[in-house]
Amino acid sequence: MNSTVLLFLALYFIGMLAVGVISMRRGGSSSMEGYYLSGRNVGPLVTAMTMQSTSMSGYMFLGAGSLGYTQGYYGFWYAAGDIGGGVVNLSVLGRRMRKLSQIMGALTSIEYLEKRYPSKWVRLIAAVLSVSLLGAYVLAQFIAGGKGLELVTGLPYEVALAIAVSVILAYTLMGGYGAVAYTDLLQSFVMIIGIVWILVATLQEVGGLTAANHAIASIDPTLLSIWGKDLVHEGQWGIVLGALLIFSIGYMGWPHVVTRHMAMRNPFHARRAGVYSTLWNLVFVSAPYILGTLAILVLPDLDDPEQAIFALAQNLLPAAVVGIVMAAIMAAIMSTADSILLQTGSIAARDLYERFVNPDMEEKQMVRVSQLIVLLLGIACGIVAAFEPPAIFSIVVFTTSVLGSAFLPAYVAAVWWRKANTPGALASMIVGSLVAFFWQYLALDGVTGLHPMLAGVVLSSLAMVVASLLTQASHPVSEHILKAMEETAELRPLPRPLKAQQSFEMAHEALTLKLSERTA
């Protein structure tokens, strides 16, 4: 246990807790909009950084490095889509989703779906899918966090897990979305400093990129190919283009990522946030795959390829810097875990408990209930994580594909297609989740050469279009929703009548009353 490394980790944890306290003092837990969306007051840099650090988990330090180490430059196919994921999300959804979510008064990305596609079934299906899959994802991130801390400190896994979970829970409970977003900002800086430091040290060690690539070629030239070691992936265009496409558009289907649009201070911040996302991704997404490949030269006999980047840091960097790198690895894990924990707890509280069990709570009570549910969820996941159930990772494999396939058409059509209606949304969610699940479960990607999420997104989009068009007459999109969508196209401040959340809800209630009077 190196004391310098421990010192940096301790400083990092204290920093995160301090942000939690500051967020709480700034009203992070005094109102629902404050707790769920930081009062819709997040600037472009924080928006971009919370989006990116939430999206990029510990996988970037572990899995990405491992893929580069074992398959060489083939790993870059997986970076290729990721680099653009943030700017695609912000350019397609950003401004309009921010505006529409405010007009509709939605506080979670699931509530947003029900308000755009009015039906309790939309809310129920979306909430249950999200809570169960994201809950498993939280569990997996907690396990990664515990293992990461165990690795760097030598503490027993259970103790390391307890520390990591306690820190995450503390600042998330105190400051809600504000704490999560601002800790994500700091964590994104730590992540990029850590990865750049290792990259520079490694390039110096191997004598520059060109010399390194010549050396790798003399070991095994297929490692420089786009098809992997021994060209084992040659011709698998469906898989690699699927990965490229999916990782560039897939983030638009993740409820915990698209929430970031809803919390922006101003819809036009999407523009600058897009630039920050691309700049950060160019470095942070590319580096781990390249580092994994370069590690072949520096550490040719590694037992566990997932240790490639960590081992590079230990071998090449002074102890103080290794501490920063360890903090960066923890930052990558925690910045994903906190966002998903808060989102899962918020969805459970707002979209399940308040919506279906106890709708008449007062605002302050609702905040406390949300905090309680986040706490209980965090503790439950922490306890289960202590047992490291192996099944958890098989569930997580489904998470990204199923969520993305279920929700991507719904979120995109919500702001871009006036004919997208409730039956269309229901059809796309059900088709998308089932297709992605069974494609993965039955390993159909091996048979068809198509990525599960690619199949899921294509078929769920088709379902959205077909079902919406077939039911336009029986389930037209309501007038007040169409007006709200028109307003999102405008490049102006919200008109006074649309600013208040109540006007949207009353418009919908009035419509429901009118329809029931007609049929009575």
Site residues (vs another protein, CB under 8 A): 40, 73, 76-77, 79-80, 83-84, 87-88, 90-91, 95, 102, 209-214, 217, 224-226, 244, 265-269, 271, 274-275, 278, 281-282, 286, 491-494, 499
Ramachandran bin of 449, using left for φ above 0, alpha for ψ from -120 to 50, beta for the remaining angles: left
**112: its two tokens:** 């947003």
Amino acid (1-letter code) at residue 340: I
Joined tokens for residue 326: 């360890």
Which C-beta is closer to another protein: that of 157 or that of 268?
268
CB of 243 to another protein, least distance (A): 12
Q: Between 43 and 63, whose beta carbon lies closer to another protein?
A: 43
Instruction: Select 363 or 490, whichever has its Cβ closest to another protein.
Output: 490
* Beta bridge pairs of residue 42: 264
Q: Tell me how far apart the alpha carbons of residues 455 and 460 are, in angstroms, rounded to a whole number.
A: 8
* Closer Cβ to another protein, 154 or 495, answer by number: 495
CB of 286 to another protein, least distance (A): 7
CB of 271 to another protein, least distance (A): 5
The backbone torsions φ and ψ at residue 506, rounded to the nearest 5 degrees and listed phi first, read -65, -35
Shortest reach from residue 264's CB to another protein, in Å = 10
Q: Cβ distance 145 to 382 under 8 Å?
A: no
At position 196, the amino acid (one-letter code) is: V
For another protein, which is the closer residue by CB, 207 or 476? 207
Residue with Cβ nearer another protein (275 or 395): 275
In whole angstroms, how close is the CB of 270 to another protein at the nearest point?
8
Which pair of structure tokens corresponds to residue 305?
Answer: 């390829």
Measuring CA to CA, which residue among 215, 201, 211 is closest to residue 300? 215
**Do the Cβ atoms of 335 and 182 come closer than 8 Å?**
no
The separation between CA 198 and the C-alpha centre of its own chain, rounded to angstroms, equals 25
Q: How far apart are CA 496 and CA 151, in angstroms?
A: 55
The neighbour count for residue 154, using CB atoms within 10 Å, is: 12
> How far, in whole angstroms, is CA 320 from its chain's centroid?
30
143 by DSSP, 3-state: which? helix
Distance of alpha carbon 140 from alpha carbon 114, whole angstroms: 29
Shortest distance, position 236 Cβ to another protein, whole Å: 14
**Least gap, CB of 246 to another protein (angstroms):** 14
Q: 98 or 256: whose CB is closer to another protein?
A: 98
Task: Give me the least distance between CB of 230 and another protein, in Å please.
Answer: 15
**Choice between 194 and 274, CB closer to another protein:** 274
* CA dihedral over 298, 280, 257, 432, signed as positive or negative: negative
